[in-house]
Amino acid sequence: MIVKKYTAATETDAVLKAKEELGSGAVVLNVKTVKQRGLARIFKKDFVEITAALEEKENQSQSLPIENRQPSKDVPDFAAINALTEATIEKKLDTLHNLLADQIKKNEDDKLRAENSALQKKNDEESDELRENSNIKYLRMVYNKLIESEVDERLANVIIEDIDSSLKKEANIDNIILAVYQKIILKLGEPAAIDTENGRTVVFFLGPTGVGKTTTIAKLASEFKINKGLSVAMITADTYRIAAVEQLNTYAGILDVPVSVIFTPEELVEAIKKYSEYDLIFVDTAGRSHRNTEQLGELEEILMTTENAGLDVNIDKFLVLSATTKYRDLLNITDAYKDIKDVRLLFTKLDETNAYGNILNIRAHTGAPLSYVTSGQAVPEDISVVDVQELAKRLLTGEVQDNQD
């Protein structure tokens, strides 16, 4: 049997094509209108596809001239063909039609499975892209919050890029915030407070004028004497401001601790020796402009003389900075003090700002550890060791909690 498909604009034209090739004995088994899909429908029209069949033996017998036809057991004559009952022919055509329909259905099922597979792959790709776009959206939200908290743009970019490179596709906003929160805590580092476990300690307070060094000393002196029961003495080298000496004397009187005023590095060494029985000695230095190299030189001389005096003491140095100072100025200040080794960062006036980004910025810029923060004038309540977890939350939310004891 010969089975072929023919296409044409109309069913009639397709049947004519089949008759021309197979002869008048061709039987139409199936007719299907094929519709164009996708962009093809713009340029091409729908068409008709028919499936036609012809018995080969019948075709061969018809192709011979009538006078040359010979009876043969292989090629039946017309009488034998006409002997077939109408029911037999009908049954044979039905069988052929069913076989063809099954084949067509199988082809369509295979095509449908392929289309479904391609669609599923596309959906998976779109889902991945959607999740990726969601991650980008959430990261941008967190980035904007860091910028609102005045985190330096370059530092914020580093944090977000680090998180983005390690995120999983199924990450959600909670995962992203948690990852950024942990990254900020790592960058803030472990705070370094005053350690009194290793013997007597002399604590220097450095920094520009007006950042609150004297008040900070009073808070710490009160904390260590009243709350921790240690003996405390004070020394001031800030002879440039009469008010600073008077202020420290006032605090010393309230706390009942001794205080000395010194003018030279040598006098400082003698005062430290005088207070050899005290656990802690706080030294208030004069406020130094980061633009005045001469004054900074004097400060370095005081520190060097003390460190080289052979005193049996630990020496801590705290660079006191105001959280309200502009980032550019903070960079200039910390750069001016960069030659002083082993300083720790102490930030004051957190109650006067809602943006804490500069704490993270300067910590990253200097590499120096954080120590204490102050948030008001109350002594000793408004000072505490930096809570890096709380600070990280504030950087991400911008929320400010009420001062707590």
pLDDT digits (tens, 9 = 90+) for 236-276: 887 666 666 788 888 888 899 999 998 899 999 999 999 99
pLDDT at 405: 41
What is the structure's pLDDT at 272? 94
Tell me the pLDDT tens digit for each residue of 123-155.
554 444 444 566 788 888 889 999 999 999 999
pLDDT of residue 69: 47
Exposure string over 216-235, b if 16+ CB within 10 A, otherwise e: bbbbbbbbbbeeeebebbbb
Strand partners, 205: 284, 318
| Cis preceding linkage at 380, omega within 30 | yes
Residues 6+ apart with CB under 8 A from 251: 214, 217, 218, 221, 222, 234, 379
Q: Which residues of the chain have pLDDT under 50?
A: 58-69, 71-73, 75, 78, 80-81, 83, 125-131, 403-405
Query: What pLDDT score was predicted for residue 92?
Result: 60
pLDDT at 64: 43
CATH class name, domain 2-83 = alpha beta
How far apart, in whole angstroms, are the C-alpha atoms of residue 356 and residue 146? 10
Topology of the domain covering 201-395: Rossmann fold (3.40.50)
Interior/surface letters 247-284, b for 16+ CB within 10 angstroms, e for the rest: bbeebbeebebebbbbeebeebbebbeebeebbbbbbb
Domain spans, the chain: 2-83, 121-188, 201-395
Cβ neighbours for 221, distance < 8 A, ≥ 6 positions apart: 232, 234, 251, 255, 257, 280, 282
Secondary structure of residue 374 in the 3-state scheme:
strand
Q: What pLDDT score was predicted for residue 61?
A: 46
In angstroms, the CA 152 to CA 156 distance is 6
| pTM for this predicted structure | 0.65
- pLDDT for residue 100: 66
User: What is the structure's pLDDT at 59?
Assistant: 45
How many whole angstroms separate alpha carbon 30 and alpha carbon 105?
A: 12
Rounded Cα distance between 223 and 381, Å, is 8
